[in-house]
Amino acid sequence: MSFNLALVPRREVSLLRQVLTPVLALVVALLIGGLIVWMMGRSPAKAFDVFLREPLTDPWALQEVLLKSTPLMLISIGLIFCFRANRWNIGAEGQFLLGGMFGGGVAIATHGLSGPWILPLMMLAGALGGMLYAAIPAALRNRFGISEILTSLMLVYVAELLLDYLVRGPWRDPKGFNFPQSVPFTDAAQLQPLFEGGRLHAGFVLALLAVLVAILVFRRSLFGFAVKASGEAPRAANFAGFNEKRITLVVFLISGGLAGLAGMIEVSGQVGQLRPGFGQGLGFTAIIVAFLGRLSPVGAMLSSFVIAVLLIGAESAQVSLKLPFDLTRFFMGLLLIAVLAGESLNRYRLEFRKETA
């Protein structure tokens, strides 16, 4: 006689369990992260103070948290459309970079000009750049059945190399002392602060608007129902008349458009020019945000704040605790594993089964 460990599907999952799962995943990740900090010879209590309390109590740091959460919110909302439809857009980072390049290209082309039309044009260009780049893996999946996971991920590296080429070549600032960067954007091409003396700009308002629109789409529209049905029961969705290829293309366009808009907002509101690495991996971090928020627009909004707090806290910990920033990347990966493990235990329960010869 032997015992085997099996995963048995749960008949139903309570609302309390669904709410507590991401919270417990965050707690587990924090505990393991605290252990790693202790093994590095630092105080876990001091680390938690720097990571969690200071970004929420210092007014300047709180603005930085809201700024950091803006692109995360926009990208994760777009990813939710793909993930709910069971389409795996892993290349939001590349679409984010393309959006920044398209929007930045408008700023460079209109350098020296002024007018209220420049920023809207940059936003449209940024969203268009992300949509065009996201359409590539969608088209390859629809036409040839190629995995969108591989194509969207590989296109990230193409976008990084394209950005590097542009800022070192045709778009390099001739007065930039040979640094790989474009000319600084003019005031007409930069998102201005919402209030005097602050840094929070209108991009944050656009992110909140995207959350509201996503809520209405998923709760009140036929398209939102089609996305959900296509992800949970694709055969039933086909019988109901929902076109699988059309849904694939549309959700990728939505995801890429929001990621591209986030890229334009980042270069216009934060960076003020194009330069390599302006993405800072936000497109990959947004995947964690989407799953931590349980693929819910409201959940993504809340989890984007949580992740932004940790990212701002990590920057402070580099200075005050001399902790490497790579520790933050380790923690983000740990958090994603904890969230996915919790989600699996939500859907299945562990059961020991006796087996006889």
Q: What is the pLDDT of residues 192-239, one digit of tens each?
A: 988 887 889 999 999 999 999 999 999 999 999 999 999 888 888 888
DSSP secondary structure, 57-82, as one string: HSHHHHHHHHHHHHHHHHHHHHHHHH
Interatomic CA distance for residues 16 and 310, integer angstroms: 25
Residue ranges of the domains in the chain?
59-322
Q: Which of 12-16, 72-76, 337-341 has the lowest mean pLDDT?
A: 12-16
Query: What is the per-residue pLDDT for 282?
Result: 93
Whole-number Cα distances in Å, 25 to 179, 287, 294, 325: 42, 15, 12, 21
Residue entry with tokens 């507590």:
20
In tens, the pLDDT along 272-314 reads: 999 998 888 899 999 999 988 889 999 999 999 989 998 888 8
| Tokens coding 330 | 């380790």
Task: Give domain 59-322's CATH architecture.
Answer: Orthogonal Bundle (1.10)
Going 106 to 93 to 203 to 176, the CA torsion angle's sign is negative
Count of CB atoms situated within 10 Å of the CB of 316: 18
Give me the mean pLDDT over the 179-190 stretch. 93
How buried is 132 (Cβ within 10 angstroms: 0-12 exposed, 13-18 middle, 19+ buried)? middle
Q: Find the DSSP H helices in 40-176.
A: 44-48, 54-57, 59-84, 92-109, 118-144, 148-168
